[in-house]
Structure 1
Amino acid sequence: MIKIAISAAETSGDLIGSTLVQALKAQDGNLQIEGLCGNKMQQSGCKQRWDMSLVNVMGFTEVLKKLPSLLKLRAEMVSYFSKQQPDVFIGVDAPDFNFIIEKKLKKQSVKTIHFVSPSVWAWRQSRVKKIKQSTDLVLCLFPFEVDFYKQNNQRAIFVGHPLAEKLTPRKNHKPTKQILLMPGSRSGEVKRLLPELLLAAKIMSQQDETLSFHLVLANEELLGWINELIGEQKINVSIDEVHSHMQTADLVLVASGTAALELALVGVPMVVVYKLSTVSYFIASRLIKSKYISLPNVIANKPLVPELIQDQANAKNIAIHAMKILSSDQSKLISKFNNIHQQLSLNASEESAKLILDFIHE
């Protein structure tokens, strides 16, 4: 029996990893897949040995607070897989967490794959040295990433993006006046962004009473605080039903991350916002090489969607950009979003599963 170890430490990784697990199981129903994952991967057939919620944090100061438990978990995973000796270890995204595990297992002759390249082309480019020490093969979701790895003599293959399989461009969208609020999946980013998004919604409502607002949360972790924050404001709230609401929304106010790419793949206009803690932003702003932070803009290499970062991500600014989008023709933008979908649609999960099984047998 082939044993596959896997580690997905974030909500986006759990979503992408779930399609990979499904594809692997379709190739070989007897595969044993286990590791660190969330509900979606577990439902797809991965045995959850550790719950992803133990790791799901972002930002330098945020990670520091959780560092002792993160180090303990990582050591536990290395110890377990050192004894079990899987045929391959797959780190799904979360490079700062997964590369150490990969490196230690690789030294013990366990084959290692990193699925989803870190944004090494955008910032902290020196990480390529760590990648080469940790990973035998990188499976890239974007075509421009392979060029960077070739320049640095790292084995890498562009497989397309799994989300382009799950999400298809919507057709003949009729305006609904529905605005979706997506403040992210981590508690830190939700706490920083949601107050500004709710205030932006209030400003927008004052300008157009026919607008309706729907807040989609990744989990129930902050639900009590969020309901208190909303108060009397007319905001519908749901948990983890984002894709159905994307289909009907005229516009989404979204935290930068995989969600922005999901919206582009469906073909929904957006305003991208992001805030880090002051310390995290100070460090990150000095390390970033890319002109853009949102994936639609990075892929197109041009500003398709507004990006409001740190102090710019304030309610007044968000509302101005949002109302401008709502009052203008977005057909050219949608066409560019469709091009992104076409570029990334390569049956990524099926292709990745084949590559992984071939790699195991090399």
Structure 2
Amino acid sequence: MTVKIAISAVETSGDLIGAKLVAALKAQDIDIQIMGLSGDKMIAAGCVQLWDQKRVNVMGFSEVLKKLPALLWLRRTVIGYFSTNKPDVFIGVDGPDFNFMIEKRLKQQGIKTVHFISPSVWAWRQSRIKKIKKSTDLVLCLFPFEVEFYQKHKQRAVFVGHPLAETLQPRVNYQATKTILLMPGSRASEITRLLPEMLTAAAMMAVQDPQLKFHLALANDELLGWAKPLATKANVSISIGDAHQWMSQVDLVLVASGTAALELALLGVPMVVVYKLSAFSYLIASRLVKIKWVSLPNIIANKPLVPELIQDAANGENIAKHAMEILTSDVTTLTQAFKEIHQQLNLNASEESARLISEFIYERPLHKYE
């Protein structure tokens, strides 16, 4: 009998992590069909794409408002489809604001629900735990400190490690290349805010050290026409969709806050993290956030391993200053801290998550994993 799994991954990072989960589920010795809202990597792993995640990939309060009608329509469509074509389990991959409502509606119909990648409920909008309990039967957590929060609120949750730690290994015997990588994010809104500041920083750094080379890695070609003239003028080379090939070959990365910062930490690459929202989005977010840091390396280590330049501080001059400080200092202690993060998260997360989901489908107990 075919096991039917519904899945919804709404961001580029969710597609990457979701693809590993899909592959692990497919590798199990069961007849399985996985379908839903996905990106290209999940398709390649064996997921049947019913809806393209590009419809949902937006950032910030004001940006979401602009696409709200389309987002609501898509969510209703997903709920309607899986209400009629009932799966054995629905898995929401990240995207809590989009996926929790789907999970809630399907759970009300007796469909089992799993949320893979806990939202940062421990960091901000902690009242969301009420919504999570109504929506999700099981939360799979990527970080160990998350489980304690859920246990306190009597929500079933398991720490599985991080899938990225399975494939990203700390680089060994790295030799400096004098190359700096620019990664301004995957969404149009963050790229348009951050890239001009990164290019300004690159120009200032080149004056201080003419041997430095700069490369811009765009996640997709959506803004290529806008970005290419700016990069060319700044003497910065540019490519699309190959950031992972560049990450381990550079001395430093100027990176938008998000999953990419964690990827760099797992590889052991120094970075300067930048974060910038619209004024409206930042006003709201700054009142809700309950943690000291915004980047995952700092949050996991519970100390400031990497510089974080937020909002007005995320300007070219500041970026250049912090970047040059890193380039001219000994990073041995930093790379050792990155290795410790890798060891902590490297638990074969995809296989473990697939096993737990299978046990959950068949009503087998989770035993010690609860």
Determine the structure 1 residue equivalent to 2:357.
356
Listed as ranges, the matches of 1:90-109 within 5 Å are 90-109=91-110
Which amino acid letter does the alignment assign opposite residue 220 of structure 1? D
The answer to whether 1:130 aligns with 2:131 is yes
Q: For residue 104 of structure 1, report the CA deviation from its aligned partner.
A: 0.2
1:118-267 pair list within 5 angstroms: 118-267=119-268
C-alpha displacement of 1:238: 1.0
Take 2:221 and 2:94, find their aligned partners in 1: how far apart are those partners?
A: 24
Alignment of 1:116 onto 2:117 = yes
Aligned residue number for residue 316 of structure 2: 315
**Residue-by-residue CA offset, 1:28-47 (whole Å, 9 max, x unaligned):** 36210000000000000000
Alignment check: 8 A CA contact 2:216 2:231 kept:
no
What is the correspondence of 1:292-311 to structure 2 with a 5 Å cutoff? 292-311=293-312
Q: Name the counterpart of 1:331.
A: 332
Instruction: State whether structure 2 residue 286 is matched by structure 1 residue 279.
Output: no
Q: Give the whole-Å Cα distance in 2 for the aligned partners of 1:251 and 1:14.
A: 25
Which residue is 2:344 aligned to?
343
One-letter amino acid of the structure 2 residue matched with residue 219 of structure 1: N
SS across alignment from 1:281: helix
After superposition, what is the alpha-carbon deviation per residue over 1:14-57, rounded to whole angstroms, capped at 9, x for unaligned?
Answer: 00000000000001362100000000000000000000000000
Q: How many angstroms does 1:230 deviate by?
A: 2.2
Match of 2:366 in 1: none
Distance 1:148 1:196 in 2: 37
Q: String of CA shifts for 1:297-351, please: whole Å, max 9, x gaps.
A: 0000000000000000000000000000000000000000000000000000000
Q: What corresponds to 1:51 in structure 2?
A: 52
* Cα offset, 1:244, TM superposition: 1.3
Unaligned runs of 5+ in 1: none
Residue 247 of structure 1: CA displacement? 1.1
SS at match of 2:75: helix
What TM-score do the two structures reach when normalised by structure 1? Answer: 0.99
How far apart are the structure 2 equivalents of 1:53 and 1:2?
A: 27
> Partners of 2:30 and 2:67 in 1: how far apart?
37
SS at match of 1:180: strand
Q: Which amino acid aligns with 1:271?
A: V
Determine the C-alpha separation between the residues in 1 that align with 2:99 and 2:241.
25
CA distance in 1 between counterparts of 2:72 and 2:193 reads 26
Q: Deviations over 1:205-260 (max 9, x none)?
A: 01100000011111000000001222422111111111111111100000000000
Amino acid at match of 2:96: P
Report the alpha carbon displacement of residue 187 of structure 1 after superposing the two structures with TM: 0.3
Task: Describe the superposition over 1:99-134 as per-residue Cα deviations: whole angstroms up to 9, x where unpaired.
Answer: 000000000000000000000000000000000000
Identity of aligned residues (%): 68
5+ residue gaps, structure 2, are: 364-370
In structure 2, distance between residues paired with 1:95 and 1:51? 17
Secondary structure of 1:215 counterpart: strand
Aligned equivalents of 1:199 and 1:294: distance in 2? 22
2:116 and 2:140 in contact (8 A); partners too: yes
Aligned to 2:25: 24
Query: For structure 1, which segment, 198-207 or 27-36, has the greater mean C-alpha deviation from structure 2 after superposition?
Result: 27-36
Runs of 4+ in structure 1 displaced over 6 angstroms?
A: none
How far apart are the structure 1 equivalents of 2:351 and 2:7?
17
Question: Aligned with 1:263: secondary structure?
Answer: helix
The 2-side partners of 1:294 and 1:110 are apart by 35
| Structure 2 equivalent of residue 2 of structure 1 | 3
Structure 1 residue 148: Cα displacement? 0.2
Equivalent pairs, count: 362
Letter in 1 for 2:294: I
Amino acid of the structure 1 residue aligned with 2:84: K
CA RMSD of aligned residues (A): 0.6
Shift of residue 160, structure 1, vs aligned partner: 0.3
Distance across 2 between alignment mates of 1:296 and 1:357 = 31
Aligned mates of 1:28, 1:58 — CA distance in 2: 38
Q: Distance in 1 between matches of 2:209 and 2:136?
A: 52
Question: Secondary structure of 1:96's match?
Answer: helix
